[in-house]
Structure 1
Amino acid sequence: MTTSSDHAIRSALTSALQGQAKRVGEQAPSVRGADWRLATVTAVGAGTVTADGLVWRCLSSYVSPTVGDVAVVSQSSSGNLIALNRLATSATPLYTPIYRYKAANLDRTTSTLSDDPDLTVQLDANAVYEVEMHLHYAATDAVRFRTDWTAPSGASGNRSALGPDQGQILSGTSSGGAGRFGVHNFSTVCIYGTRDSNTSQCVAIEEATVTTTTAGTCALQWAQATTSATFTRLAAGSFMRVTRIG
């Protein structure tokens, strides 16, 4: 004779077996088949990440995985585990250049350095960026062209400066002459030579790998070397390219 307690026991046993079968099936590739899901990275190895208690092999495109990443992971029906990449966040995506450019000339008649209103961008905290400045400028030799950078507080790195050497006066028919090739701190002032004309342009290129600890502004600062009513110009076509690489 079957009693109500027997039914209760059988029901509990059935539920337990079904639950166990479901859990095993969820983890067994032969049962669940191939799929993908999101998982939070808890550890990083040599070419691998650990997430959901499993070790996933990273694709070559998943560069610099970090604990806390929300990663797209995939499991094949044969049990192979791969981590495709992290999800994008509100932060700057990796390897996608951001451009800032000057649509019009800007003229200044001061030796006080200040951020350019166009060549400026916000950098994320705890990130690595490649920052490039391509500058078309014009000034007379008496006042010249002077630069430095604004960088987020605590940022590390050095910036290179490539262009006509200070004191160099290029003629209207020659673009050659002595150059400068220094590598400096972000706040080191660089002074460039000119073509002795505030309308005939020269080019300077500055770049740096910037490693941040806090978020903040990265911008070109520029001014005249000597204050003069004869303006110094940063010309239309100058641009800034910023790429997060880590």
Structure 2
Amino acid sequence: MSKSGHGIHRDLAWALKQQAQRAGEQAPSVRGADWRLATVTAVGGGTVTADGIVCRCLASYAAPAVGDVAVISQSGSGNWIALNRLAGSGTPLYTPVYRYKPADTPRANATLADDPDLTCLLDANAVYRIEFTLHYAAIDLVSGSPAGRFRTQWTVPAGASGFRSAVGPDQGQVLSGTSSGGQGRWGVHQFGTACTYGDRNDNTLLCFAQEEATVFTTTAGTLALQWAQAVTNATSTVLGQGSTLRVTRIG
């Protein structure tokens, strides 16, 4: 056989090998399972379309959205699933973020200011569930006149909308040192409306209050609990160790 004939056979063998390799690369049964990143272009009932591939979502992939960069995976039999979105620069959806007070903070003035611990940054164009759980202590009366007390409002990003609820002892209510009972407050307020709570008239005996809201943001910025005394007194009002802020992005 001529050298040219051998060359033709070698070229044919190489071409067949390359064709088989390409076929194997495309066949899940040969290639096996793998995963990749893909951009979601459409959302269906329990599915997403990502880079032209229809994938069934795992239950943990909550609220998929067009534009998500998702982790998708193909089984050896060729089925595609979408595992979840990649974390972006903002707050992950449905994952609570906690802040807590590692130590008591005392204040002996009536100037509202952000708490140093119960604060968190919020993303723009987002929806959050916000929950403050507050353990505080204050005095209430000196010679029959109001003194101290515990007063709150919120710092929120510019343009944020929503309302906050305030649950705890009612303003001016002085609870006994041996009982946690008494009149309560149940109001719903603007973020910047100051709310004053009752207390146990002793800045070493803690009371409980809880404030919550759904916050709709348009710009990014700081969320914080602002608090102070209602009436300035040298005996400090105290926001106690273990008070918490829970922030969950839901939209």
Letter in 2 for 1:92: T
Structure 1 residue 191 and structure 2 residue 222: aligned?
no
Structure 2 distance, partners of 1:191, 1:72, is 49
| Shift in Å, 1:178 | 1.0
| Shift in Å, 1:244 | 3.0
Aligned position for 2:84: 85
Q: Bigger shift: 50-59 or 236-245?
A: 236-245
Aligned position for 2:163: 158
Structure 1 residue 174 and structure 2 residue 173: aligned?
no
Aligned residue among 222, 228, 231 for 1:226 = 231
Report the CA distance shift for 1:46/1:111 in structure 2 as closer, same or farther (over 3 A).
Answer: same
Letter in 1 for 2:45: A
| Shift in Å, 1:18 | 5.5
Aligned position for 2:213: 208
Report the CA distance shift for 1:27/1:127 in structure 2 as closer, same or farther (over 3 A).
Answer: farther
Aligned position for 2:143: none
Runs of 5+ unmatched residues, structure 1: none
Superposed CA offset, 1:123-153 (max 9, x none) = 2233333222111111222232111111122
Where do 1:36-185 residues align within 5 Å? 36-141=35-140, 142=146, 143-185=148-190
Superposed CA offset, 1:145-170 (max 9, x none) = 11111112232332221110112110
The number of residues matched between the two structures is 239
Structure 2 distance, partners of 1:96, 1:129, is 11
Structure 2 distance, partners of 1:100, 1:136, is 14
| Overall identity of the aligned pairs, in % | 71
Superposed CA offset, 1:6-38 (max 9, x none) = x9xxx8xx97x967983x665544454422111
Report the CA distance shift for 1:49/1:156 in structure 2 as closer, same or farther (over 3 A).
Answer: farther
Q: Bigger shift: 28-37 or 209-218?
A: 28-37
Report the CA distance shift for 1:239/1:89 in structure 2 as closer, same or farther (over 3 A).
Answer: same
Structure 1 distance, partners of 2:250, 2:243, is 23
Superposed CA offset, 1:60-104 (max 9, x none) = 110121222211101223332210101123333344433222222
Runs of 5+ unmatched residues, structure 2: 141-145
| Shift in Å, 1:52 | 1.2
Letter in 2 for 1:193: G
Structure 2 distance, partners of 1:124, 1:27, is 41
Report the CA distance shift for 1:149/1:88 in structure 2 as closer, same or farther (over 3 A).
Answer: same
Structure 1 distance, partners of 2:226, 2:19, is 65
Letter in 2 for 1:161: A
Letter in 1 for 2:42: A
Structure 1 distance, partners of 2:126, 2:30, is 41
Tell me the TM-score normalized by structure 2.
Answer: 0.82
Structure 1 distance, partners of 2:165, 2:26, is 53
Structure 1 distance, partners of 2:170, 2:226, is 18
Partner of 1:181, secondary structure, is: strand
Structure 2 distance, partners of 1:239, 1:28, is 53
| Shift in Å, 1:226 | 2.0
Query: CA-atom RMSD, angstroms?
Result: 2.9
